[in-house]
Structure 1
């Protein structure tokens, strides 16, 4: 172990910048490492990272009520805002136009409503509506990975200053599209980095010949339709999170709460790939010897998810013994397995189903540390094409309905239970 005065070399080949705003316990630990030759084993023995970490935070700006409320629909789900209002014994509403007026009035009555909305927004950016892949971290690297993630600094930038709100359209145009830290945080289960950037998506629209104007009819006289393609820029919030209790590195790619942009599987794959590249570069430069393997394959877990009675099955895709492909979805708060049509059909085929897609939802009051009204849900996506592959893989799950860090940790515990 060596030091060049600014960088601490933890193990041969890996230099870790010593942050300037750490608490005294961690500072003493780093000084010990800098000044005293030691092995990796004694390093992980001497530092209790869970207690010693001091997380650098991008301070939340003083968000005005008007700015928060005007953009509320773009950030939080209607159900989430309704639940927050009810938790403070405030009246709610069924539409966004009514809800915004209710929120403005509610903040005047109870200023803590604004704080709760901002907290919910921060939680949304970190945990909710994400395509999440999970990577196993060997036990010998757990404390080093946590220390590496916690040492990331949030640089001064327009995108970081605006957090947890988005930058304006003109600022977004100037963004280079690279992942940038906007917040480093810690909870009781681990620590993470929220990363933001500009993503460009394409939206296509079919225009039938009956809607052609005279110029289009003249230019495309024999066309039945034309396809209009438009590129749109959106700001995304991805998260790299390390759950030290489970020893899992979570790569949470943003799905976005935007009805005008529905991401394709290829676009989500790009989000996950870019996040893995960022993570690999970050950790390889700080933790020598750590190689991130392929994420946990979710495809083999579908059968165990379907068999889990603790939640309600909301979606199912499967193949019967006669190669009949079926897809079923429940819109209301009913478990698909209890629905009469599904029960009759499953019984008729003696429950012989090869499942390639499944979604399950829980209730937050069933989660230790959860909150009433939250409904954490996971969806293992898949198609019949995945099923017929020789080595089927699903590298990520879609996570939504997360209102607390406890919800996110509950999902991890469920995944680990399915793996056993």
Structure 2
């Protein structure tokens, strides 16, 4: 048994014409764009993207999609708004909900890599058939698990390499007995609850970013719809290995991305930075040996200013933090403001290690590139402030 079909599941998509011309927006193209937004982008972020594009929003995701598909508007403005949404979706693949590792690399090596990749001819794979949209599931099943380079995006700030891959998931789903056939209802008549395991696969868009004015190479792993720490580790390993293989072929350099930046000092630096963002979550050890975690509801006050937390801090000499989430309000336009998040997912065992190290951060809730770069700049600033 499967979940109730979503609005777009009920629509038939003609996958033989996935990429329409830039000059027109067909209903088929709109279906495809909304389908990919629905499967890839969290609803709050999708709402922001629709607001930016001045497109209608209904009560919830499915109602919104119904409304957009039902609006038979004509004219250039409607087409322009969907062209803008398509561009936002493309940009989102680079910045939306990513686990991130940073590597300090010599300027000359980065410049050599950029020059080489600007001339690189990407090998054709099945992913190019639909990129920047995801492959339909029947095609995705035919791919292997190794990341494939599908796109090289060159801007004034950086050069980004997009690697596509797939991964399998299982989901535990509660089955509504009322939706069963009469025969099945009789068979499960004595059961109070019925659950099934649904298996599915999804396409991921992982990115390696070569900065032109920073001595940094970034690896961004797609974590849309939630990815476990173990799955993130596998994705980092595979994407870095593929990039290192390309670097070896281009420059003859072994293990280009080897030792990443340690983010652990960011936890204390950001927590102690009064007036910087809003702390929404922390986890820490006390001198007495207990482990504590605190989390504020969305929209609540900064955890550092919460009365219970302040009273506890005053009662002890100090606390040793190992996890932190910090949020910033970001004004996209005069009428649109978002809240973006940097999460440092440390675990308590870090504190007992000889070298306290956190190799990844998670950047969430970004809908445009400017939001992501804002968080990256904050990270760089507070890492440089480490004494």
TM-score w.r.t. structure 2 length? 0.78
Residue correspondence of structure 1 range 213-292 to structure 2 within 5 A: 231-257=199-225, 262-289=226-253, 291-292=256-257
Aligned to 1:393, which of 354, 357, 379?
357
Alignment CA distance shift 1:200-1:417 (3 Å): same
Does 2:345 match 1:381? yes
Picking from 86, 90, 93, the partner of 2:51 is 86
User: 1:202 Cα deviation (Å)?
Assistant: 4.7
The verdict on how the C-alpha distance between 1:122 and 1:107 changes in structure 2, with shifts beyond 3 A counting, is farther
Is it true that 1:111 corresponds to 2:82 in the alignment? no
2:242 aligned counterpart, secondary structure = helix
Whether the 8 Å contact between 2:149 and 2:162 is mirrored in structure 1 is: yes
Task: Decide whether the 8 Å contact of 2:146 with 2:238 is kept in 1.
Answer: no
Q: Are the structure 2 counterparts of residues 388 and 107 from structure 1 closer, same or farther at C-alpha, using a change threshold of 3 Å?
A: farther
Take 1:89 and 1:198, find their aligned partners in 2: how far apart are those partners?
A: 33
Query: 1:325 corresponds to which residue?
Result: 291
Change over 3 Å in CA distance of 1:387–1:229 after alignment to 2: farther
**TM alignment of 1:62-73, pairs within 5 A:** 62=20, 64-73=29-38
Out of 324, 337, 345, the position equivalent to 2:312 is 345
Superposition deviation, residue 158 in structure 1? 3.0
Q: Deviation per CA, 1:278-320, whole angstroms, max 9, x where unpaired?
A: 1111112222457433110112221012123321112111111
How far does the alpha carbon of each residue in 1:130-182 deviate from its partner, in whole angstroms, 9 at most, with x for none? 11100111122231122233333333333112112211111011101221122
Task: Confirm or deny: 8 A CA contact 2:97 2:224 kept in the other structure.
Answer: yes
Q: Deviations over 1:29-88 (max 9, x none)?
A: xxxxxxxxxxxxxxxxxxxxxxxxxxxxxxx92261122234432122222232233335
1:315 aligns with 2:281: yes
Distance in 2 of aligned mates of 1:86 and 1:106: 16
Are 2:333 and 1:364 aligned? no
Aligned counterparts of 2:135 and 2:354: Cα–Cα separation in 1? 45
Q: What aligned pairs does 1:154-233 form with structure 2 within 5 A after superposition?
A: 154-203=122-171, 231-233=199-201
Q: Does 1:147 align with 2:115?
A: yes
Mapped contact 1:189–1:409 kept (Cα < 8 A): no
Gap change, CA 1:353 and 1:375, over 3 Å in 2 = same
Q: What is the alpha-carbon distance in structure 2 between the residues aligned to residue 84 and residue 313 of structure 1?
A: 25
1:130: which partner in 2?
98
Cα distance in 1, alignment partners of residues 159 and 215 from structure 2? 12
Q: Distance in 2 between matches of 1:170 and 1:100?
A: 24
Tell me the CA shift for residue 372 of structure 1: 4.0
Kindly report the root-mean-square deviation, in angstroms, between the aligned alpha carbons of the 2 structures: 3.0
Structure-2 change in CA distance of 1:88 and 1:244 (3 Å): closer
- The CA deviation at 1:203 is 4.9
2:380 maps to 1:416: yes
Q: Which structure has the bigger radius of gyration? A: 1
Matches of 1:311 and 1:145 in 2, distance apart?
35
Asked whether the equivalents of residues 56 and 68 of structure 2 are also in contact (C-alpha less than 8 Å), the reply is no
Closer/same/farther in 2, CA of residues 325 and 168 from structure 1, 3 Å limit: same
Deviation at 1:231, TM superposition (A): 5.0
1:89 to 1:126, Cα distance in 2 relative to 1, 3 A: closer
Please give the alpha-carbon distance, in whole angstroms, between the structure 1 residues aligned to 2:96 and 2:283: 24
Asked if the contact 1:125/1:237 (under 8 Å) is kept, the reply is yes
Indicate which of 402, 409, 418 corresponds to 2:366: 402
Show structure 1 runs of 5+ residues with no match.
1-59, 207-212, 217-226
- Residue 64 of structure 1 aligns to a residue whose secondary structure is helix
Partner of 1:13: none
| 1:174 counterpart SS class | coil
**SS class of match (1:108):** coil
Give the TM-score taking structure 1 as reference length: 0.73
Aligned partners of 2:36 and 2:134 also within 8 Å? no
Residues in 1 aligned to 2:110 and 2:36: alpha-carbon distance in whole angstroms: 39
Corresponding residue pairs, total: 339
Give the SS at the match of 1:160: helix
Q: CA deviation at 1:396?
A: 0.8
